[in-house]
Structure 1
Amino acid sequence: MKPRARDLGITIGQLQPGPFNAITDVPGVRVGHATVQGLAANGKTINTGVTLIEPRPAAAHLHPCFAGVHVLNGNGDASGLEWIREAGLLSSPVAFTNTHSVGTVRDALIALERAENSDEQRLYWNMPVVLETFDGLLNDINGFHVQIEHVAAAQQAAKSGPVTEGAIGGGTGMICHELKGGSGTASRRLSAEQGGWTVGAIVQANHGKRRELRVDGYPVGRYLAETPSPFAQAALPHPGMGSIVVCLATDAPLLPHQCTRLAQRASLGIARTGGGNEDCSGDLFIAFATGNALTPTDYARKGAFTQTLQMVNNDHLSELFLAATEAVEEAIINALLAASDTSGNGHQVKALTAEAMLEGLRQAGWSAQ
């Protein structure tokens, strides 16, 4: 297993991570991957997949949670976000995949929900949340290789505990800061005096320019010029083209507008690593909060007129915002460290090794604490 940032003595931020340093430190949250690789009939390479984040152990539509979304730059696509903006409710898993598989994954999640629940439990409609980033350099993206069985496999693989990172699931074919990117995760747990809540992040990192990469605030990317860029021989995409999608989770009792504010802080975590400045990048974020137990909407039999809710006092939101920022920052670095060299369709993308990262940090003036 490759080292993560903290294994190398890189301590990002002020707050402490949870036991897994992953989004699964938020109780009930589970993550599953399904990776699709091989050679297509047209001779092109397949490097893609799907990653699934389940907000609660039970069916999401039976146990919805408050949520909010934020778009830093809209050169990307997603399904299911308009209802979250309107109602503030997440009632599906959150899926990450490639740009041209959003529709397939959305349809698969609807079909799986209908197959797994009785008539009494089925929703009249379902609008799953699916976010994407572009893997067309390393993957035969127009081959539509992600299918319903892969979404089902990711769902079956979903579990709590440590989360596999790097070139896996939806992150299989992704490129980050001109290095091999993919899936990464991290968390922060607040002290009892700060509320005791946990914030976790998972990213699909496919963005950024090499020279702008920062690690713990140090301009490491400036010292990685010897690593070849995968874009050197490609007309498109060019360095910086790509996207990053983020899912934030917390067990704090946040209301929808507070979830939106939490989602906005993903922008700061990306900025701290040197990203977020590209026109050709889809930077889409979702945050959900499991701290309130909500009654599911029942279109056949209307429920009670009111529900009893809790809300974090605004005086205590700053700590949660910092936790989200730090978790996203570290998740991106973990994604880079976990990735492996990947080839596809005549292109090779080198991974950032721990040795190269540490040497870049030392050249930039960093020393282990």
Structure 2
Amino acid sequence: MPCAAGIHSLNGNGELTGRSWIEESGSLTLPIGITNSHAVGAVHAGIDEWTQAAHPELAAEWLLPVVGETWDGYLNQINARHVRPEHAIAAIESAATGPVTEGNVGGGTGMNCYGFKGGSGTASRVVVYGEREHTVGVFLQANFGSRNELRLAGRPLGRESAAPNPYEDAAWFVRDGERARVRGGSGSVIGIVITDAPLLPGQCEALARRVPLGLARTGTSGSHFSGDIFLACSTANAGAFTSSMPVTPVGDQPYESAEFVPWGRIDPFFEAVVQATEEAVANVLVAARDMVGRDGHANVALPHHEVCAAFATS
């Protein structure tokens, strides 16, 4: 079922496929895939294959899957094609409601954030709107930021950490035969905002524009070498925002209709996005665990005792 959708790019040094059609139509129809930079094609093909099997009526028209990426080449053999289309199909078919596993999972397995082990994270807020309640959820694949930038709830954690930082000595990039040195802050972040509040596509785009405000609360200034791209969707207004090729005359019901939150009352939803984004970054860093990847490359998680010490009361 199509959803109203909007996209915002803070920095375009990354990829989110299908965005041109979302910007044109204001809608999202297919599952969203998030992977590493060099597996976008495999995941794209997997979503194509799944759609052809599960929804042949869609595949008969055209398919423009949405696949986002962040770079995990420090820990992962990124050119080894470990991710294949069948992995994307398995992920879609095993998707379920309930709590989302965070940290070193899914596309976030090989990611690093603020010089610590990064990965996948999520958080949500409930917005009371008149007699109704709406949930605003944020999911991040977090692979961004320099160690000295990290702050949680205003407290500097990165620059004072005693944990080793693989990005302080970027000579490994040259030793591995790469053409350039990796820079602190490199990597990217993909953010997905989903809400059941009824919103127009332009309002979804406005929510997507608030994700960077939540990221900024954790310290990032948005590196030139980080692709920071955000997608927001509203699951309300079922049956609206369709874009199928017509096969019958216009008939007696030529129009779609949708309800939406008035623009003048949208601020609580903006606040929810900012708060949930900030918390999702914290959840990534707390849930992630130390990891040793390809060729002995290692990264450590944000030490929990350093977090506890930073927030301890005297």
State the partner residue of 1:103: 41
State the partner residue of 1:254: 199
Give the secondary-structure state (helix, strand or coil) at the position aligned to 2:186. strand
Task: Please tell me whether residue 352 in structure 1 is matched to residue 302 in structure 2.
Answer: yes
Give the secondary-structure state (helix, strand or coil) at the position aligned to 2:152. coil
Task: Please tell me whether residue 94 in structure 1 is matched to residue 32 in structure 2.
Answer: yes
State the partner residue of 1:12: none
CA RMSD, aligned part only? 1.7
* C-alpha deviation, 1:217, in angstroms: 1.9
- AA aligned to 2:211 is A
Structure 1 pair 195–222 and aligned structure 2 pair: CA distance change class (3 A)? farther
Task: Please tell me whether residue 64 in structure 1 is matched to residue 10 in structure 2.
Answer: no
- AA aligned to 2:245 is Y
The Cα offsets for residues 76-124 of structure 1, whole Å up to 9 and x where unpaired, read as 1121000000110101111110001111111110111102234x45441
Structure 1 pair 355–197 and aligned structure 2 pair: CA distance change class (3 A)? same
Work out whether residues 76 and 243 of structure 1, in 8 Å CA contact, stay in contact via their aligned partners in 2: yes
Give the secondary-structure state (helix, strand or coil) at the position aligned to 2:222. coil
* C-alpha deviation, 1:69, in angstroms: 0.2
- AA aligned to 2:6 is G
State the partner residue of 1:25: none
- AA aligned to 2:307 is M
- AA aligned to 1:204 is Q
* C-alpha deviation, 1:287, in angstroms: 0.1
Cα distance between partner residues in 2 of 1:180 and 1:288: 28
Gaps of 5+ in 1: 1-62
Gaps of 5+ in 2: 172-180
* Count of residues paired in the alignment: 300
- AA aligned to 2:170 is A
Structure 1 pair 121–101 and aligned structure 2 pair: CA distance change class (3 A)? closer
Normalised by the length of structure 1, the TM-score is: 0.78
State the partner residue of 1:179: 116
Cα distance between partner residues in 2 of 1:336 and 1:240: 15
Give the secondary-structure state (helix, strand or coil) at the position aligned to 2:187. strand
State the partner residue of 1:213: 150
Work out whether residues 51 and 58 of structure 2, in 8 Å CA contact, stay in contact via their aligned partners in 1: no
Cα distance between partner residues in 2 of 1:297 and 1:207: 35
1:143-292 alignment runs, 5 A limit: 143-193=80-130, 196-224=133-161, 226-235=162-171, 236-292=181-237
Give the secondary-structure state (helix, strand or coil) at the position aligned to 2:82. coil
* C-alpha deviation, 1:194, in angstroms: 8.4
Work out whether residues 267 and 276 of structure 1, in 8 Å CA contact, stay in contact via their aligned partners in 2: no
Task: Please tell me whether residue 116 in structure 1 is matched to residue 61 in structure 2.
Answer: no
Identical amino acids, percent of aligned pairs: 44
- AA aligned to 1:270 is L
Give the secondary-structure state (helix, strand or coil) at the position aligned to 1:252. coil
Work out whether residues 198 and 251 of structure 1, in 8 Å CA contact, stay in contact via their aligned partners in 2: yes
- AA aligned to 1:355 is H
User: Post-superposition, which runs of at least 4 consecutive aligned residues in structure 1 deviate over 6 A?
Assistant: none
